A and B are shown apart, each in its own frame.
Chain A
C-alpha cells in the first residue's frame, strides 16, 4: 500500500502544475470556435434572413419610414452560426469572443440602423439607395421633400 502511495505521488509530481492561469493569461481558443457574432453594418442589406433562421429569434427588425432598425438581443444567442451561414452579403461573422460576462444586460444589445429606400407603391423599405439611383419623390414625402425644396403634392 505504501508503494502505491509513492507511485501516486510520483505521478502527481510529474504532472506539475496543471491549473490554467486563465484570468491573468489569454485563453486557448480551439479552431472553429464560435463566439459572439459580429455584424458588419456597412454590408448588411436588411433582408431579414438572420431573423428568420435564428432559433432564439433574437433579431428584431422594425421598418420605419426611411430606415430599418435591427435590434439584436445577444443575451439569448446560442452561438449556432446559422445567421452567418444564411447571410447573403457575408455581413455576419462568428468571432472568437467569448468573454461576454457583464453586470448590465444592455451591454449585450446591439442596435443597427440601416437607411433604406422605400417602395413607391407599398411604402416599405427595401435595400439601400445609392447616389446613382434616381430620386424617388414619393419616398421623400414630408420632411425630406421639404428639405430638398420640392413642393409636396
Chain B
C-alpha cells in the first residue's frame, strides 16, 4: 500500500538534489536556469533541496572524475529510494569529450543506473524541461534509434 502511495506521490513533487561530479559549470548554469521564473520548473513540483536525504531526484552533471567518485557513491547511497537519476549534459550521458580520459570514469551510468538522459553541451533549458516532462509523462520522447543502410545492398544481392 505504501508503495502505491509513494508511486502516486512521487511525480507530484520531485525534489531534486544537484550534484556536480566534474562538470565545467555549463550544465549547472542551465539547471539553475530551469529553476528561474522564466522557465519555471517549479510548476511541475520541482524544488531544489540542499541535502541529498531530502531528495527524490539526483541531477548529475559532468563525467565522474576519479577524485569525486567515492563521494559520489556516498551521495547516491544517501538519496532514499525510490529515486530517479537524471544525467544532464553529454559528459554525464556518455563521458562527452572526456569519455576515454585517464582521470575520468566516463558517464554516470557506469557508476549508478540512470533513468533519464538529457544530452547536450550544455543542454538548452528547454531540453532539460523536456526531459522533466518526459519523466513526468507530460510529453512523448522525440527520439528513436536509427539503423539504416544505403540502397546499394539490393544492387549487389539478388535476394
Contacts and interface: CB of A to CB of B under 8 A. Distances in A.
A79 interface: yes
Contact of B119 (A20, A27, A42, A77): A77
A144 interface: yes
A63 interface: no
Interface residues of A, number: 48
Contacts of B152: 114-115, 128-129
Contacts of B148: 41, 111-113
B75 interface: no
Interface centre among A44, A76, A129 (most CB of B within 10 A): A76
A113 B144 CA distance: 17
A113 B154 CA distance: 13
B131 interface: yes
Interface in A93-151: 97-103, 105-115, 128-129, 131, 144, 147
B126 A105 contact: no
Contact of B97 (A76, A109, A128, A129): A76
B90 A44 contact: no
A42 B151 CA distance: 7
A27 B90 CA distance: 21
A56 B96 contact: yes
Interface of A: 18-20, 22-24, 27, 36, 41-42, 44, 55-58, 66-67, 73-80, 97-103, 105-115, 128-129, 131, 144, 147
Interface of B: 37-40, 43, 90-91, 93-97, 99-100, 107, 109, 114-121, 123-124, 126-135, 138-139, 141-153, 155-158
